[in-house]
Amino acid sequence: MKKIKNILLVVTVVSFTLLSFKAPTNSLIFVEAGNLTVVVNANGAPSDINLKKLKGVLKGEQQRWKNGTKIKLALMKTNTNIGSDMTNRIFGMTVKELNKHYLAKVFQGKMSSPDFFTSETELIKYVSEKSGAIGIVSTSKAKGVSTLSVDGKKSL
């Protein structure tokens, strides 16, 4: 019985991974520095946040918004320019450090698994649909979705 459970678990893990994997639709997006915007789902997220708190949210140190809505992280993969830029500028980490950070947090159950995207459009769509979601996209793409001011600025 336990063996069957293990097999089902492995199948589940592999299925989740495959379903989560999305082929990059636009791998040539180039975003210049200073053009990152924090996008949020209107439900639960504040309209303004300071950088320190933003970092805390993005690192999984804060799990819920003030109204109790669970925070869902939606980030661009670090192999995208936006993702790489975000890692350096916002987290102040290397890609390896960020991944290991999330691994440690998820492993210990201190945070939910963040969702990584290869397409900003999909990320924005996800954020706009997912209650409590927060993500970072290039400013130019942040349209039709709520944005979060960081220290009073619309873009980072």
Partner 1 sequence: MKIVTVRNKIIAVAIGIVLIFSPFLFIYFPSQQQELLIDSYNQEVEGIARTVALGVNIALAEQNFTGVETAMQYAKSDSRLSFIALVQIDTVPSDRKNKARLDKTVFSIFPENAVVDLNMESSEKVAVSGSAINSEMLSGEVMVGFSTQTIYDKIAEIKFRSFILSLIVSLFGVIIGVILARNISNPIRILRKAHYKVGQGDLHQEINFKRSDEIGDLAISFNKMVGQLDETEQELLLQKGIVEEKNKGIIDSINYARRIQDAILPSKEKVGSCFAECFVLYKPKDIVSGDFYWVQILEDRTLFGVADCTGHGVPGAFVSLVSSNALNNSVNEFGLVDPAGVLTKTNELVQGKFSHDETDEGMRDGMDVALCSLLVDSTEIEYAGAINPLWIASKHIPLDNESELSPMLGSESGNLFEVKGDKQPIGRYENSHPFTNHKVKLNKGDSIYMFSDGFADQFGGMKGKKLKTKKFKEAILSIWEQPLSEQGEYLDKMITDWMGEHEQLDDICVIGVRI
Sign (positive/negative) of CA torsion 144, 114, 33, 150? positive
Distance set, CA 103 to CA 59, 75, 86 (Å): 11, 15, 18
Give min distance, CB of 121 to partner 1, in A: 18
Nearer to partner 1, 42 or 104 (CB): 104
- Enter the tokens of residue 12: 């589940």
User: Can you tell me which of 36, 102, 135, 137 binds partner 1, judged by CB under 8 A?
Assistant: 102
User: Can you tell me which of 23, 28, 66, 108 binds partner 1, judged by CB under 8 A?
Assistant: 108
Q: Does 14 interact with partner 1 (rule: CB under 8 A)?
A: yes
Beta bridge partners of 36: 138
Residue 105 CB contacts under 8 Å (≥ 6 apart), including other chains: 59, 60, 111
- Enter the tokens of residue 143: 């349209």
Q: Does 96 interact with partner 1 (rule: CB under 8 A)?
A: yes
8 Å CB contact between 126 and 133: yes
Q: Does 42 interact with partner 1 (rule: CB under 8 A)?
A: no
Q: Does 64 interact with partner 1 (rule: CB under 8 A)?
A: no
Q: Does 119 interact with partner 1 (rule: CB under 8 A)?
A: no
Binding site for partner 1 (CB under 8 A): 2-3, 6, 9-10, 12-14, 16-17, 20-21, 77-79, 96, 99-100, 102-104, 106-109, 112-114, 116
